[in-house]
Amino acid sequence: MNSDELGELLEALRDGTIDDAQTARLDQILAEDPEALDHFVDRALLQADLTFKLGRQPAMPAPARRRRASWKPLLALAAAAAVVVAALLAIPTKQPESPSYEGCAVLTRALDVTWGDSAPSLGSVLPKRRLSLLSGSIQVEFFSGARVVVEGPADFELVSRNEGFCRHGKLRAVVPPQAKGFTIGASDLKLVDRGTEFGLRVPRGGDAEVHVFQGMVELHSRGTSRDLGGGSAVRVDGAGTILPIPADTEGFLTSAELTFRSAEEGRGRYARWESASERLRQDPRVAVYYSFEDSPSWSRELRCNRPERSPVDGAIIGARWTDGRWPGKKALEFKTPGDRVRFQDAGTYESLTLMTWVRVDGLDRPFSGLMLTDGWTSGSVHWQITQTGKLRLGIHGDKISNDYDTEPMFPAGNLGRWIHLCTVYDRQAREVVHYVDGRLSRRLPLKFDTALQLGNVEFGNWGSPIDGSHYGIRHLNGRMDEFVIFGQALKESDVRELYQVGAPAP
Amino acid sequence: MDRGEQFVRLFLQHQRRIYGLILALVPNGPDADDIHQETCAVLWQKFGEFEAGTNFSAWALRIARYQVMAYYTTKRRTKARLSDETLDAVVDRMAARPEREDARSAALDGCLGDLPEDDRQLIELRYRGGASVEEVARHTGRTVVAAYKALNRAHERLLQCMRGKLGAANA
């Protein structure tokens, strides 16, 4: 038996177009070949699963319509079904597909930081891990509500959603009542907060200092504990001796100062990006450019920045203006299934580079559209993210199509932060190359080569699927604040440079 | 838990494979729905005969099989049909499958997400859109023969992925 024949018989059976000879053939295959029988059962179960998931579910009995004597129990069934279905829905059922992560805090500020080991991204969720700062300052917001500003050089460990450990460095913690019990350990002591604001300084190889600015902190050291009130400060030496010292309120960077200085730093980066954006507008390699900057915020048009090449302003449908990578940088937010920006491009491309800055807030749909041409026919380009978090370039040639996927690249930590995505379709080198945040993510050989034509295109959604058919929605849940299409394949070094000049933070 | 609840709980747990059996034997459409409803009614009527703790799946599938046979008779279908022996074999094989509806559903979600775009569109057309193979052919600019092949490929790809995710031959 071959699986083609069996599968085709099953499809024909589903449609009711199976004829007598085919039925006899199916019967014969199933009777003679146990493997075929297994396969048939597999397919039948898959068909039922798909019907339940995507299609119309079979109706339950409708007792009132029936004339048979059985209507009474059926009424009971209907009643029981109503109750039990409700009850079953209320039971927190296992959700094996529900994503989870070992997060305990979010990195919300990072100023002039040089990381000692792997650098987490600004805005990302931090799992339990050590943060090693050679220099610079960061702000970490624990899930419990405690907020900690750490000044480098420092070695600070996230122990849980309400606990940290400082090997060395300087930090200032603000602990609201709901994070009571927030704990910070150091080699010779442990601080348990009772709703306050305090500073901790742990010099490398020196004595630790605790400064309480407000409220009350329990200091545990060498088996003893004592309460420190607002305005007090102590030094704890290696032997556990506790000495009062003058409180130093000025010596610890506050959250407000850090925010102010980060905003200044952000303005510097924004200005640097702006001049790079000006250069991009003149760049002969650029075919389509939307900087998202030139439209007033009441406008429903997305100004194109290469009028001589892509003469069409994008029409904004549903999406709303909001902040982009920096305060003041314009972006569009895509949230609901109708949201999209629709534009047009008349070019034909041998090779193509797609580049965007997006903040993906969630992967709600089987596909989240970045840029999709209408339909799915010869020359179509579909650039999107799959629900499993793979960046995908789908190319349609003459009666043939192929998807080029990265590995999943949207763990929970990558949601809600600005990310640079770039995909190169290179007909000369016969490859597709994906870059994430300026770094090579995946290189895939071309399955076939074809010139690409965009025509009508949408950002953040899919314009028109094949007429008359039913497709799931593909809207993006997130923000976009720059989109460039280069009419040629960019090199790795070009992509890295574009990333660096646009990165929201170092 | 009263008997009604017990029944509905068991029924909901097994309804996919019951429907799976019916769909493997009868064209998708009003007839399959009728058989499904009838089966549901008979299962409830006879639930008193079901011994708690025994294999509900085997019991329910056997009843569904009789409903399919009854349908063959009442329709007095001239068309050929699967032999009783084959029906029995299908029912036995299906009843022997481990019950992992939650795991199956999760695996299917993942596999649908990983499916190449072309295949996914075919599956969407076929199930969400309820298109026949002929309609699939028309919508996608294929010959009917090619549509059969393409649908088959999409299903096989899903099946392979499901097997991988469920970690056993019993996808």
Interface test with B, best of A17, A33, A46 (most B CBs within 10 A): A46
Residues A365/A473, Cβ–Cβ less than 8 Å: yes
HSE of A146 in the Cβ direction (CA atoms, 13 Å)?
28
Which residues touch A127 (CB under 8 Å, ≥6 apart)?
A101, A102, A103, A104, A158, A413
A82 & A137 share domain: no
Inform me whether the pLDDT recorded for B72 exceeds 50.
yes
- Inter-chain touch B124–A31, beta carbons under 8 Å: no
- Inter-chain touch B82–A96, beta carbons under 8 Å: no
> Is residue A471 very low, low, confident or very high in pLDDT (cuts 50, 70, 90)?
low
Inform me whether the pLDDT recorded for A431 exceeds 90.
yes
Q: Cα angle at B104 between A9 and B1, to 5 degrees? A: 115
A46 & A116 share domain: no
- Inter-chain touch A49–B108, beta carbons under 8 Å: yes
Q: What pLDDT, on a 0 to 100 scale, did the predictor assign at position A95? A: 34
A373 & A492 share domain: yes
A142 & A275 share domain: no
A387 & A438 share domain: yes
> Using CA atoms, how far apart are residues A162 and A175, in angstroms rounded to an integer?
10
Q: CB of B70 within 8 Å of any CB in chain A?
A: no
Distance of CA A193 to the CA centre of its chain: 34
Q: CB of B40 within 8 Å of any CB in chain A?
A: yes
End position of a domain, from candidates A52, A67, A90: A90
- Inter-chain touch B116–A10, beta carbons under 8 Å: no
Q: CB of B168 within 8 Å of any CB in chain A?
A: no
Q: CB of B90 within 8 Å of any CB in chain A?
A: yes
Residues of A whose CB is below 8 A from B27: 13-16, 18
Residues of B whose CB is below 8 A from A12: 133, 148
For the segment A259-264, the average pLDDT, to the nearest whole number, is: 86
End position of a domain, from candidates A37, A67, A90: A90
Residue A402 belongs to a domain: yes
Residues of B whose CB is below 8 A from A410: none
The overall pTM is greater than 0.80: no
Residue A260 belongs to a domain: no
Inform me whether the pLDDT recorded for A96 exceeds 70.
no
Q: What pLDDT, on a 0 to 100 scale, did the predictor assign at position A418? A: 93
For the segment A316-340, the average pLDDT, to the nearest whole number, is: 93
Per the structure, the count of domains in chain A is: 3
Q: CB of B76 within 8 Å of any CB in chain A?
A: no
A178 & A62 share domain: no
Taking residue A324's Cβ as centre, other Cβ atoms within 10 Å add up to 25
> Using CA atoms, how far apart are residues B131 and B135, in angstroms rounded to an integer?
5
Tell me the pLDDT tens digit for each residue of A270-279: 999 999 999 9
Q: What pLDDT, on a 0 to 100 scale, did the predictor assign at position A89? A: 39
Tell me the pLDDT tens digit for each residue of A361-378: 999 888 899 999 988 888
End position of a domain, from candidates A225, A253, A281: A253
A112 & A41 share domain: no
A89/A303: higher pLDDT: A303
> Using CA atoms, how far apart are residues A231 and A197, in angstroms rounded to an integer?
10
Q: Percentage of chain A surpassing pLDDT 90?
A: 49
Which of A139-143, A211-215, A408-412, B89-93 has the lowest average pLDDT? A408-412
> Using CA atoms, how far apart are residues A89 and A72, in angstroms rounded to an integer?
25
> Using CA atoms, how far apart are residues A390 and A402, in angstroms rounded to an integer?
15
Tell me the pLDDT tens digit for each residue of B93-142: 888 887 677 788 888 988 998 899 889 889 988 888 888 898 888 888 89
Residue A356 belongs to a domain: yes
Interface of B with A in 47-66 (CB under 8 A): none
Q: What pLDDT, on a 0 to 100 scale, did the predictor assign at position A90? A: 38
The mean predicted confidence, pLDDT, of chain B is: 84
- Residue in A8, A59, A392 closest to B152 by CB: A8
Inform me whether the pLDDT recorded for A119 exceeds 50.
yes
- Residue in A21, A48, A80 closest to B8 by CB: A80
> Using CA atoms, how far apart are residues A442 and B86, in angstroms rounded to an integer?
49
Inform me whether the pLDDT recorded for A81 exceeds 70.
no
Inform me whether the pLDDT recorded for A83 exceeds 70.
no
The mean predicted confidence, pLDDT, of chain A is: 86
Q: CB of B28 within 8 Å of any CB in chain A?
A: yes
Q: Which amino acid is at A267?
A: R
Taking the CA atoms of residue B92, residue B95, residue B98 and residue B101 in that order, the dihedral angle to the nearest 10 degrees is 140
A197 & A306 share domain: no
Residue A262 belongs to a domain: no
Q: CB of A472 within 8 Å of any CB in chain B?
A: yes
A72 & A136 share domain: no
Residue A45 belongs to a domain: yes
Residue A48 belongs to a domain: yes
Q: What pLDDT, on a 0 to 100 scale, did the predictor assign at position A333? A: 97
Which of A78-82, A131-135, B44-48 has the lowest average pLDDT? A78-82
Q: CB of B140 within 8 Å of any CB in chain A?
A: yes
Residue A392 belongs to a domain: yes
**What DSSP line would sit under A314-340, residue for residue?**
EEEEB-EEEE-SSTT-EEEEE-STT-E
Q: What pLDDT, on a 0 to 100 scale, did the predictor assign at position A78? A: 57
Residues of B whose CB is below 8 A from A37: 89-90, 93
Residue A96 belongs to a domain: no
B93 to each of A41, A43, A156, A255, how far by Cα in Å?
Answer: 7, 13, 58, 65
- ipTM rounded to 2 decimals: 0.93
> Is residue B42 very low, low, confident or very high in pLDDT (cuts 50, 70, 90)?
confident
Domain that holds residue A41: 3-90
Q: What is the CATH number of the domain that holds A211?
A: 2.60.120.1440
Q: What pLDDT, on a 0 to 100 scale, did the predictor assign at position A1? A: 54
**What DSSP line would sit under A183-239, residue for residue?**
EEEETTEEEEESS-EEEEEE-TTS-EEEEEEESEEEEEETTEEEEEETT-EEEE-TT
> Using CA atoms, how far apart are residues A380 and A366, in angstroms rounded to an integer?
19
């597709």: which residue's tokens? A432
A390 & A498 share domain: yes
Six token digits for residue B105:
């559903």
Inform me whether the pLDDT recorded for A339 exceeds 50.
yes
Q: What is the CATH number of the domain that holds A480?
A: 2.60.120.200
A318 & A291 share domain: yes
A486 & A337 share domain: yes
- Inter-chain touch B90–A37, beta carbons under 8 Å: yes
